[in-house]
Structure 1
Amino acid sequence: MRLIIAECSVDYAGRLSAHLPRAKRLLVMKADGSVLVHSDSGSYKPLNWMNPPCTVSVLTPSAEQALVGVQQVWQVQQAKTDDVLMISIFEVLSDISHELGDDPGLIKDGVEKHLQELLADQLHLIEEGASLIRREYFTAIGPVDILLRDANGSTVAIELKRRGDIDGVEQLTRYLELLNRDPLLAPVRGIFAAQEIKPQARKLAEDRGIECLVLDYDAMRGIDDGRPRLF
């Protein structure tokens, strides 16, 4: 992983256009090929980013850019789309690299992990005829909890939480965006599953075409006869 503190401006062009004026920022270049632009305030999320696979080219600034102090221009090009991130570097304050090695992945708490195991064994709760592709299906941005095929042969990605909030819906949205780029899987629909789903998360999921599944943990363990409800 490479971490750069730099004074820079950033321009994004693709499905939409965005501009970040000149300021000091953290640029993260990860081994998976992703590039993220962070600020020191506002949110833990990047201000802008480019998902892998992408290529980074260092360009000589134009005469106009050089006149205002730009030293380098980094062009981050998405390999599968026309999306491009242009980072104009005015000054590099720090540039360090670390080899992090293989990551063992997220270890879920006991209930969440057990929910995943139970639902993978009870796919009829999703729909009759569903078949498991894999639990913890690996992607470049993290593992999808459950990937399955429904009775019609379409791919379904499931994100599981104990308590479902907006962050979980955002996480599933990112997975769906990535999975739907794979012609062997697309089209992929999403199901957000949790023991409890907050109203704001349900509304966001519905707006994005994601189904919500409320899970009854005790019923799935056979403690009572309650059943999950698919909305």
Structure 2
Amino acid sequence: MRLVVARCAARYTGRLSAHLPLATRLLVVKADGSVLLHSDGGSYKPLNWMSPPCTLAVQEPDDDSAARGVRVVWCVQHAKSDDRLEIELHEILHDSAHELGVDPGLVKDGVEAHLQVLLAEQIELLGAGHLLVRREYPTAIGPVDILARDASGGTVAVEIKRRGDIDGVEQLTRYLELLNRDPHLTPVRGVFAAQEIKPQARVLALDRGIACMVLDYDAMRGVDDVGSRLF
């Protein structure tokens, strides 16, 4: 990644036209070819940018531009359209390059995998007498998040989502149809568990005989002391 702090002006042409008057800004050139212009405000969003695929060419200014104080011109041309970003650099205050390597990506706290581990460890949250059979119980159409036995020995299939919507209910329905063909498991009842369950998903689940369970992630981690709440 290349970071340049410079007094610059910019002009964008193509599907729309826009310009940035002369000011001090941060220019970011990423390894994927994207070029972004940032001010020292306005939160995370750049003032202007060019997304890949695009090419960056560095050119000398013409006589008129040089007379206005332009030292160098960046011409960023999109590869699949006429969009073009021209940046006139008047004064470069900082110029550095850094190798960031491959980013592992954002890992959200409380995603399905974390919830699955916690619920497996606290299987009694499903009800007294429940026992864990296994996590990621394999089926021909994919693994069931949790398979358990209730106090009476009945099989329970649990589908876990961070946000529970209709697609999650449909997924659990398919698992239940398949599991109930197994004479060693049937009858299998379903539990749709999520941190938040949308009203439409709840209606569909209950209509199909699937129980709904809201998971309190903080309480399951022991971060939130439910007994100390005022409300």
Superposed CA RMSD in Å reads 3.3
Alignment of 1:72 with 2:72, yes or no, is yes
Alignment of 1:103 with 2:91, yes or no, is no
* Matched positions, count: 141
Partner of 2:31: 31
Distance 1:215 1:109 in 2: 25
Partner of 1:45: 45
Distance 2:170 2:86 in 1: 45
- Give the TM-score normalised by the residue count of structure 2: 0.53
2:211 pairs with 202, 205, 223, which one? Answer: 223
Structure 1 stretches lacking a partner, 5+ long: 126-161, 164-193, 196-213, 226-231
Amino acid at match of 1:17: S
Displacement, 1:60?
Answer: 1.3
Task: Report the CA distance shift for 1:124/1:34 in structure 2 as closer, same or farther (over 3 A).
Answer: same
- Give the TM-score normalised by the residue count of structure 1: 0.53
* Deviations, residues 142-199 of structure 1 (Å, cap 9, x unaligned): xxxxxxxxxxxxxxxxxxxx89xxxxxxxxxxxxxxxxxxxxxxxxxxxxxx95xxxx
| Bigger radius of gyration | 2
Partner of 1:148: none
The answer as to whether partners of 1:115 and 1:217 remain within 8 angstroms in 2 is: no
Structure 2 stretches lacking a partner, 5+ long: 114-160, 173-194, 214-231
Alignment of 1:1-231 (within 5 A): 1-111=1-111, 114-115=161-162, 195=198, 216=201, 222-224=210-212
Distance 1:44 1:20 in 2: 18
Task: Report the CA distance shift for 1:35/1:117 in structure 2 as closer, same or farther (over 3 A).
Answer: farther
* Deviations, residues 54-109 of structure 1 (Å, cap 9, x unaligned): 10001111111000100001000111111000000001100011111001111123
Task: Report the CA distance shift for 1:105/1:120 in structure 2 as closer, same or farther (over 3 A).
Answer: farther
The answer as to whether partners of 1:118 and 1:220 remain within 8 angstroms in 2 is: no
Distance 1:216 1:49 in 2: 39
Partner of 1:135: none
* Paired-residue identity, %: 52
Amino acid at match of 1:50: M
The answer as to whether partners of 1:218 and 1:224 remain within 8 angstroms in 2 is: no
Distance 1:13 1:7 in 2: 20
Moved over 6 A (4+): 116-120, 217-221
